[in-house]
Amino acid sequence: MPSTPDTRLREPAELRGLPRADRGLINPDLIRRLLVELGEDPDREGLIRTPERVARSLMDLTCGQGMTVEEVVGDGVFDEDCSEMVIVKDIEFYSLCEHHLLPFYGRVHVAYIPDGRIIGLSKVARIVDVFARRLQVQERMTVQIAEAIQDTLTPKGVGVVADAAHLCMMMRGVGKQNSSTMTSCLLGSFRANASTRNEFLGLVRNM
């Protein structure tokens, strides 16, 4: 008689003994219950491993909730006498809409004007992931990314633009497959100086 597959998530050694709230683990039994509520048989061949797969996917898609900007930046900030605009464009991101738990995805463009310090380019992308990989709304995510860059570098200004497609709008409700949503957050000189703001928005649009 074949044994029943073990669908429990394996805990890393450093997480053992911690309360569930501190582990970030999801009980696959919750997914199994959801399948039953949807009228499915969680024991049929195609669904036997689904609870574990979904639990792991959700853990990955919300891993930013357990991250901090300080952790991902580490020692990636450097003293540098540079005062020209720095733009990191087309940073891909994936997130989950907190209203429907459906994905939204797109690109983020981040710019800042240094004031004696710069940040490693890969760290900018990691900051985006900190705020994208969680239950989120695009408007808040855009502001959080901008404020994180501001707090980390104290630059002369920060500009962030996000352009995303929302599956909650494409797959359900109004069903508009070709729509996208753009949000922006401008801080410091990007907000106060029209020339700086227009330069950033023009470069994002035309690069």
Catalytic residue among 40, 65, 168, 199: 168
Helix and strand numbers, DSSP H then E, in the chain? 9, 7
Neighbours of 113 (CB within 10 A): 21
Known catalytic residue at 166: yes
Give the separation between CA 98 and CA 180, rounded to whole angstroms. 17
Question: 52, 109, 138, 185: which one is catalytic?
Answer: 138
Instruction: Considering the candidates 52, 97, 109, 144, report the single residue annotated as catalytic.
Output: 97
Closest by CA to 73, choosing from 182, 148, 5, is: 148
Q: Which of 11, 70, 80, 99 is catalytic?
A: 99
Q: Among this protein's residues, is 138 annotated catalytic?
A: yes
Q: Which residue stretches of the chain are H helix? A: 20-23, 28-37, 50-61, 69-73, 121-132, 138-153, 167-170, 189-192, 194-206
Q: Which one is catalytic: 40, 63, 82, 100?
A: 100
| Residue 4 CB coordination number (10 Å) | 8
Examine the residue annotation and report whether 168 is marked as an active-site residue of this protein: yes
> Which residue is catalytic, options 11, 98, 139, 177?
98
Q: Is 100 designated active site?
A: yes
Which is the catalytic residue, given 52, 136, 166, 185? Answer: 166
For the question of residue 185 being annotated catalytic, the response is no
How many whole angstroms from its chain centre is CA 89? 16
Q: Which residues are catalytic?
A: 97-100, 138, 166, 168
